[in-house]
Amino acid sequence: MFAGTLGSLVSQHRGILVASGAGLVIALGVAQVAGIRMPSILRNNARTGSSRLSVFVLGAVYGIAGVCTGPILGSILTVAAVGGNALYGGILLAVYALGMALPLFALSLLWDRLGIPGRRWLRPPPVTIGRWSNSWVMIISGALSIGIGVLLLVTDGTAGLGGVLTVTDQFHVESAVSGAASGVPNTAFALLAAAILAVAAALYFRSQRNNGPAGSDAEAKSLPVKDKANQ
């Protein structure tokens, strides 16, 4: 009943919702190009790495962006319901959730380990023209946001945007991928996911052990030595 009511509401006011969303995307793009800083509550915290509100907003945006996986989730729920086996349905949904979160876990564990935040390509030199100063990353991302907003307005929320492939070509591609994947047993996917999780857990506990009390004591003991060297 909720889904039907929500769908009816969206259908009736689609034009207003698309225009509002496109306007918000364009406004954010203009703010990025103009170099307008976000409020301090949304910016990263120097001590903890991120604020609570910024993490919540990021999760909410990710949840909205994840709506593209709706057809896949619908198919999995249908298979789980038709199968009539609670364990099988639970395994299907667990694998689906693992596939959604596993890339984020791997990226978060490797982000600091590979030194990505300190890479020059991630922090390019700023562009300054008079009083205006901004980075190329913000300029390009802002221009892309403005372009996406305009695209949403022109195509009625991408409803009038044609696909790259025809329906027949899409069916042939999906059939080919399904045929290739059917030869790989589900056990192989499960073992691969378990191995990745094991490696991620080992890296996590190793980093926690290195940053534990022993690491803090060693750092505290080295402070007087560093102060004497500086003197």
Question: DSSP 3-state assignment of 35?
Answer: coil
Alpha-carbon torsion angle 66, 68, 69, 74, nearest 10: 120
Question: DSSP 3-state assignment of 15?
Answer: helix
Q: Which of 3-7, 19-23, 115-119, 165-169 is most confident?
A: 19-23
Residue ranges covered by each domain of the chain: 2-162, 170-231
Q: What is the pLDDT of residues 83-135, one digit of tens each?
A: 667 777 888 888 888 887 888 778 877 777 777 766 666 676 778 888 888 88
Rg (CA), the chain: 24
Half-sphere exposure of 157 (CA within 13 A, CB side): 11
Helices and strands in the chain: count of H runs, count of E runs: 9, 2
pTM for this prediction: 0.49
Amino acid type, 139: I
Quick check: 138 and 33 in contact, CB under 8 A?
yes
Q: What is the pLDDT of residues 142-165, one digit of tens each?
A: 899 999 989 888 888 777 777 777
How would DSSP label each residue in 132-195? EEEEHHHHHHHHHHHHHHHHHHHTTTTTTPPPSS-HHHHHHHHHHHHHHHHTS-HHHHHHHHHH
Strand partners, 132: 129
**How far apart are alpha carbons 32 and 38 in whole angstroms?**
9
Helix (H) or strand (E) holding 129: strand 126-129
**How far apart are alpha carbons 172 and 168 in whole angstroms?**
6
